[in-house]
Amino acid sequence: MDKIKKTIRYNTLLHIYGNLLSKTQYTFADAYFSYDLSLSEIAEAHDVSRSAVEDAIKKALKKLDDYEKELKVLEKNNKILELVAKAKDLEGTEKIQALEEIERIIYSYGI
């Protein structure tokens, strides 16, 4: 995965699952992915070692990936956006089927 795609993915996962991380993991991962700070800059700002920052970010990314693997919120959101875009160009039965699929995905959230 290239750097831009990785940054977008983890920024999105941080918005979805960030509250499930420790405060430190969230703070460091957010600084790294949202503000494009280096490990050294984050370490200096928080008066910790660079390796502590790297470790916290690695753990945060593992947790974010694990949450997404289990809950699939990002995957479902992307599918909804894809179907909405597709439905704009459809008519009749195809449009109804696309909207029904969106409805099924939304209901799968359990809301």
Q: Classify domain 3-70 by CATH architecture.
A: Orthogonal Bundle (1.10)
* pTM for the whole structure: 0.81
DSSP string, 26-95: HHHHHHHHHS---HHHHHHHHTS-HHHHHHHHHHHHHHHHHHHHHH-HHHHHHHHHHHHHHHHT--HHHH
pLDDT top residue among 34 and 96: 34
Confidence at residue 86, expressed as pLDDT on a 0 to 100 scale: 81
Of 5-14, 24-33, 34-43, 87-96, least confident by mean pLDDT is: 87-96
Q: Domain ranges in the chain? A: 3-70, 73-108
pLDDT top residue among 30 and 89: 30
Given a cut of 60, whether residue 101 has pLDDT beyond it is yes
